């Protein structure tokens, strides 16, 4: 049970951090528009690029998990999202598009990666509850972006805030998943798919030969 609690807490944290990265640029847009030279209403284009990249990268999540392991894929997602957010500090329209692509690529595969971590250690009777708790990281991250980002802007400029948030993701990336690994989670663990009743997991491309 301890391993399950740790896994739920960490996957919830990762989901919230990446979701916060997706929403934070919209909160920053009114302040950053002068630096970027583009009206704040153009944030819709930034969001569209993020979700397009997420939609294209999400179907690859299963095969990435099978090849690299769920913990490693989660690390990649955090690094992609953090790197994309860090690019925003350059405040150039084309660079912002590249940052949005990286954020989206980190946002897409995180669900299948965290699902494997959780399903592998969750009793079947609790899976619906556990998955729901993990997925609540999406609105939690959005709410945190709406509350925390304006407060932080009072104490630092937009560029400094972006760098601090990116640095935080790197720290979480290094520390959090070391904790999962120390709890005994195998780097390559896809055998749960054979027994899973979740069709989207069985069809996600995770190979059964591991």
pLDDT in tens, 29-48: 887 777 777 888 888 899 99
**Contact criterion met (CB below 8 Å) for 61 and 112:** yes
pLDDT classification of 136: cutoffs 50, 70, 90: very high
How many angstroms separate the CA atoms of 114 and 116, rounded?
5
Q: What is the dihedral of CA 161, 166, 169, 174, to 10 degrees?
A: -130
Among 157, 23, 15, 169, which Cα is nearest to 91's? 157
Q: What does the pLDDT average to over 47-51?
A: 94
- pLDDT given for residue 25 in this prediction: 85
State pLDDT tens for residues 138-177. Answer: 999 999 888 888 877 776 655 555 555 555 555 555 455 5
User: pLDDT averaged over the chain?
Assistant: 77
pTM exceeds 0.85:
no
> Residue 87: its pLDDT value, please?
85
Q: What per-residue confidence (pLDDT) applies to 82?
A: 86
Domains of the chain: 2-202 (1.20.1250.20)
8 Å CB contact between 64 and 43: no
* pLDDT exceeds 60 at position 6: yes
pLDDT in the model for residue 31: 78
User: Binning pLDDT at 50, 70 and 90, where does residue 80 land?
Assistant: very high
Closest CA relative to residue 81, chosen from 142, 143, 14, 149: 14
Q: What is the structure's pLDDT at 171?
A: 52
């Amino acid at each position: 049970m301890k391993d399950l609690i740790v896994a739920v807490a960490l996957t919830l944290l990762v989901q919230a951090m990446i979701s916060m990265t997706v929403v934070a640029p919209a909160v920053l847009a009114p302040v950053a528009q002068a630096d970027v030279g583009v009206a704040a209403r153009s944030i819709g284009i930034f969001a569209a690029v993020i979700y397009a990249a997420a939609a294209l990268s999400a179907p690859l999540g299963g095969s990435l998990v099978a090849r690299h392991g769920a913990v490693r894929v989660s690390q990649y997602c955090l690094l992609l999202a953090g790197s994309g957010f860090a690019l925003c500090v350059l405040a150039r329209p084309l660079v912002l598009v590249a940052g949005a692509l990286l954020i989206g690529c980190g946002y897409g595969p995180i669900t299948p990666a965290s699902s494997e971590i959780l399903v592998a250690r969750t009793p079947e009777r609790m899976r619906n509850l556990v998955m729901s708790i993990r997925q609540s990281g999406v609105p939690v991250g959005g709410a945190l972006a709406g509350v925390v980002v304006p407060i932080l802007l009072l104490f630092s400029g937009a560029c400094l805030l972006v760098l601090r948030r990116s640095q935080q993701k790197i720290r979480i990336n290094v520390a959090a998943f070391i904790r999962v690994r120390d709890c005994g989670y195998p780097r390559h663990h896809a055998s749960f798919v054979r027994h899973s009743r979740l069709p989207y997991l069985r069809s996600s491309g995770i190979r059964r030969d591991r």
